[in-house]
Structure 1
Amino acid sequence: MRSLVLFLLVFVTGLSASAQKFGYIDSEYILNKMPEYKKAEETMTRLTEQWTRDVSAKYEEVAKLKVKYQQEEILLTQDMRQERQRAIEKAEEDLKDLNNSIFGLNGLLFQKKKEILKPIVEEIYKTSEKIAKKHKLSFIFDKASDLSIFYADPRHDYTDFMLEELGLSSK
């Protein structure tokens, strides 16, 4: 009796596992077709360039302080040298803090990118959920993500369905 129950349990589990459908999309391809994403990229590029200029200007200030100190070092008293060295160290620390606050983990760049891309990513997730329900898929993988897909049968590619649902042309 136990072996019959075990056999039925394995059989039913095998049926449900084989009934699962999956598909994949190429989010990178989809994003490149979205005008909103192109605008977001342009905005991020402008912000990055501005912040890079700001950090570079601060770096040049620190470099000028160092050069000026080296030129005047011989003429300075011991107290004046120490004061200038502290000023240079403070300027370097400020530069480091500025760089980290903009380009560091959870810096302005990261936060702004997250803010700008959030509605776009949400739209892709909602659409993929819609596609999954429409085509009775259990899983949708992203070919463009870090998830390794060594081979993908093109008949499981739902990228065009996503583009269609988003109102974008695949051409």
Structure 2
Amino acid sequence: MMNLSGRLLALLLLFVASGAQAQKFGWVDSEFIMAKMPEYAKAQSELNLISDTWQKEIEAQRKDLEKLHRNYQAEEVVLTEAMKKKRQDEILKKEQDIKLYQNKQFGYEGQLFKKRQELNKPVQDKVFEAVEKVAKKKQLAVLFDKSGDLTMLYTNPAHDYTEFVLEELGLGAEDRNQPGPKGTVKTVAPPKTPVDPNFESDSGASESIVTPKAATKPARSPKKGAK
């Protein structure tokens, strides 16, 4: 992923140096994009198969080493010093061979690392081309990679152009980057403002305040026997 991140950073600097609109920027998630690509999934499956094959070879070598250890321990009492030295050297060489093979296959810049670069490069190139097209179409001066080495402490979804890149690759979702449904517009009548009865309008006529009618209580009938 470092290769793609470096290329995206180079694209960022290119747009800044070319005097593009500095106020327009965005970010993408390259790992999310690549995870959506069938060719990337195929590359990962091939890498897993190769890795499993090499791992099984290492396990088989370790079993041979354990066998050498067991045989030496079982026969040590009957071996001469010269024979012991020979067996020990054989065991030591086997251990070194296993470590060398493991580093060769799985170590830094080993065969798995090189194979990953080889298989991922076409996918990364495709993503980079799509990112470049989106950046030009949207007139972006800066486009960061959220999954790259650059630490992004906060990302505003409003500046997320990941889905646009997926659309450029033909992998966009139909429910993304679409305008939201229009809601029902409700009209609310403004409340009436009470008017001071002593206030005179421009016409000179006084305006009265409208008040709700008070509820009238029924008259109470006198109690029987009252005088």
Q: What TM-score range do you get, normalising by the shorter chain?
A: 0.7 to 0.9
Unmatched runs of 5 consecutive residues or more in structure 2: 1-18, 175-227
Q: Partner residue of 1:47?
A: 50
Give the secondary structure class of the aligned counterpart of 1:41: helix
* Cα shift at 1:67: 1.1
Contact 1:25 1:157 in 2 (8 A): yes
Q: Partner residue of 2:97?
A: 94
* Cα shift at 1:145: 2.2
Q: Partner residue of 1:117?
A: 120
* Cα shift at 1:33: 0.8
* Cα shift at 1:17: 9.4
Q: Partner residue of 2:161?
A: 158
For residues 20 and 119 of structure 1, the distance between their equivalents in structure 2, rounded to whole angstroms, comes to 32
Q: Partner residue of 2:40?
A: 37
Give the secondary structure class of the aligned counterpart of 2:112: helix
Select which of 65, 69, 74 maps to 2:72.
Answer: 69
* Cα shift at 1:125: 1.1
Q: Normalization by structure 1: what TM-score?
A: 0.86
Q: Percent identity, please.
A: 44
* Cα shift at 1:18: 7.5
Structure with the bigger percentage of helix: 1
Question: Greater RCO between the two (CA within 8 Å, min separation 6)?
Answer: 1
Contact 1:26 1:144 in 2 (8 A): yes
Q: Which has more radius of gyration?
A: 2
Give the secondary structure class of the aligned counterpart of 1:128: helix
* Cα shift at 1:44: 0.8
Q: Partner residue of 1:107?
A: 110
Contact 2:21 2:140 in 1 (8 A): no
* Cα shift at 1:133: 1.0
Unmatched runs of 5 consecutive residues or more in structure 1: 1-15
Contact 1:33 1:170 in 2 (8 A): no
Q: Which portions of structure 1, spanning 4 or more consecutive aligned residues, are displaced by more than 6 angstroms? A: none
User: Which one is further off, 122-131 or 140-149?
Assistant: 140-149
* Cα shift at 1:147: 2.0
Q: Partner residue of 2:172?
A: 169
Aligned residue pairs total: 156
Give the secondary structure class of the aligned counterpart of 2:49: helix
In the alignment, does 2:25 pair up with 1:22? yes
